A = this chain, B = another copy of it.
C-alpha cells in the first residue's frame, strides 16, 4: 500500500482534516486526466484558486504534466495509471493505420475498436489501483474527514467519479469524453437517426446507409461499455458500493456536466438541464510573441505564415509522411512554423522553422497566420475557431477524425488522411485552404458565432462550479429517468401491458361474437 500512497500523501490529507479553518474558500478535491486534458483542468483551477478556493489534486507520481508542487493546489500522489513508454501512442497510431486493410465501411469500426482495446489495459490498472485505494481504510477515512465541498473531475479518468460517488460529494464533471465516447451519450437522449456516434465520422445529416452504420457504431459502443469497460471494476463495486452501482450510474449522479463543446462546432442534439457548455473556455486573446518568433512572422511579408502542430501525444508522424509534408511546405510562398520532434526531414525548405515547442494560441491569434495544420485535437480546433484560422487536418486517432469532419462540413477545413498523404495532395489541400477565401470566411463566421455569448465559457464554468458548492449539489437539475431499469425507461413493460389488455379485449370481443353467431345459426337450423 505504501508504494501506492506515499506517507507524504497521508500527511497532506491529515493537515487538510485538522485545519479546516485555514481555507478562505471551499475545499475542492480534483481528479484530473493527464495529457492535453490537464490543460483544460489547470486553467479552471487557476481561476478557482484566484477566487480563494482551496484545491487538492490527486495525481499519479509519474505524471507527465501535473506538477507535484504548485502554488495553486496541494497535490496527493496516488498510483492511478501505469507510466506509459513514449512509444505507446505511436504503436496505437500504427494499429489505427493497420485498419486500412479492411473494406472502407468497416474502417471506422476497426479504429474505434483499437482505441477501446488499448484503453482496456488502462481500465485494468485503474480498477486495481482503485481497489487498493478504497481498501486503504486510513486513506479513505482521511479523505472523508477532510470534508471536501466538491469533487471536480474529468470523467475520462474513472477514479474521480468513483471517489466522488463513494465520498458522496457534490460532483462537477469537466468532460468531453467518457470511455464510451462523447459524454452526451451517457447523459442525454441521443436519437441515432441524427446524432452521430463518436468515432463514426458521420454528420447529423445521414442517408439510409449512414444511419445503418451509425446504429452499428452505437451497438458497438454499448457492447464495449458492458463487456470491455465495466468488467474490470466489478470487484471494486462488489466490495465498496451498494448493489446495482456501476460506472454509468455514478456518472449520472454528477450534479453538473461542464461539457467542452459548443454548437458552433458540435452538431445540434438533445441535451439535459445539468449540462453546461464551455467549449473553447481555454481560449484567450493572443499575447505578443517572443522577439525572434515575431521577427520570423514579419519576415513572411504579405504571404503570411502556416502553423503546424500535431499535438502532445504523438512525437513523430511516420518518416515518409514527414518527408512529404516538409517537401510540400518547401514549395509554399508562405513561411512555416512546425512544432517538430525527431530527425530533421531531408526535404525541409528554407521557409520552414522547426521548433520543439510553440506558443500555439498566440501564433493562431497573430495577424500573419494564414492556416493551421493540425491533428484535430479538441483544444486546437476551438483555438482555430476562436481566432478564425482555417485548418488543414491530419487526423491520427481518438476524436480527431470526428473533430476535423465537423470543421470540414462547415467549409472551414480540408482533411488529408495521414495514411494516404503525398506531397501533391497535401500541397493541393494547403494551397486550397490558403488561397480560396471561403475557408477563411467560414471559420471567421464560426468565430463570430462562437464569441457571441451572454457570458464567457470560463465565467460560465466558474459560476456553475460555485453554484454546486453554494447549493450543495444541483439535485433539481438531475433527471429521474436514470433511476429506472432500461425496460421501464423505454416503457416496454407498459407497452406489453397495453398490448396484452388490448389483445385480451379484442379476443374477448371476437369470442363473444363467435358465441352469438353460433347461437343465431343454431336457432336458424332449429327453425328450419
Number of interface residues of A (CB under 8 A): 50
Pair B264/A269 contact, Cβ less than 8 Å:
no
The one of B191, B274, B490 in contact with A193, judged by C-beta atoms closer than 8 angstroms, is B490
Q: Type the 1/0 row for A260-289, where 1 means its CB is closer than 8 Å to any CB of B.
A: 000110011111111000000000000000
Which chain B residues lie closer than 8 Å to A479 at the CB level?
194, 204, 268-270
Interface-facing stretch out of A158-166, A222-230, A313-321, A449-457: A449-457
Pair B454/A459 contact, Cβ less than 8 Å:
yes
Q: Type the 1/0 row for A462-497, where 1 means its CB is closer than 8 Å to any CB of B.
A: 011001001100001111110010001111011101
Q: Type the 1/0 row for A4-30, where 1 means its CB is closer than 8 Å to any CB of B.
A: 000000000000000000000000000
By beta carbon, the residue of chain B nearest A475 is B268
- Least CB distance, A516 to chain B, in whole angstroms: 28
Pair A271/B273 contact, Cβ less than 8 Å:
yes
By beta carbon, the residue of chain B nearest A272 is B270
The one of B454, B478, B493 in contact with A268, judged by C-beta atoms closer than 8 angstroms, is B478
- Least CB distance, A465 to chain B, in whole angstroms: 12
Pair A452/B478 contact, Cβ less than 8 Å:
no
Complex Cα–Cα for A122 and B261 (A): 43
Which chain B residues lie closer than 8 Å to A268 at the CB level?
272-274, 476-480
Known: A215-B498, A476-B264. A489 touches B191 (CB 8 A): yes
Q: Check A335 for interface membership: any CB of B closer than 8 A.
A: no
Pair A498/B212 contact, Cβ less than 8 Å:
yes
Which chain B residues lie closer than 8 Å to A481 at the CB level?
191, 193-194, 204
Complex Cα–Cα for A194 and B483 (A): 10
Q: Check A418 for interface membership: any CB of B closer than 8 A.
A: no
- Least CB distance, A448 to chain B, in whole angstroms: 8
Complex Cα–Cα for A413 and B62 (A): 56
Q: Check A429 for interface membership: any CB of B closer than 8 A.
A: no
- Residues of A whose CB lies within 8 Å of any CB of B are 188-189, 191-194, 204-205, 208, 211-212, 215, 263-264, 267-274, 448-449, 452, 454-455, 459-460, 463-464, 467, 470-471, 476-481, 484, 488-491, 493-495, 497-498
26 A-B residue pairs with CB within 8 Å: A189-B189, A191-B491, A193-B481, A193-B488, A193-B490, A193-B491, A194-B484, A194-B489, A204-B480, A208-B488, A208-B497, A212-B498, A263-B476, A263-B477, A264-B476, A267-B480, A268-B476, A268-B478, A269-B479, A270-B271, A270-B479, A448-B471, A452-B467, A454-B463, A454-B464, A455-B455
- Which 6 residue pairs of A and B lie closest in terms of their CB atoms, listed nearest first? A194-B481, A204-B480, A189-B189, A454-B463, A194-B480, A263-B273
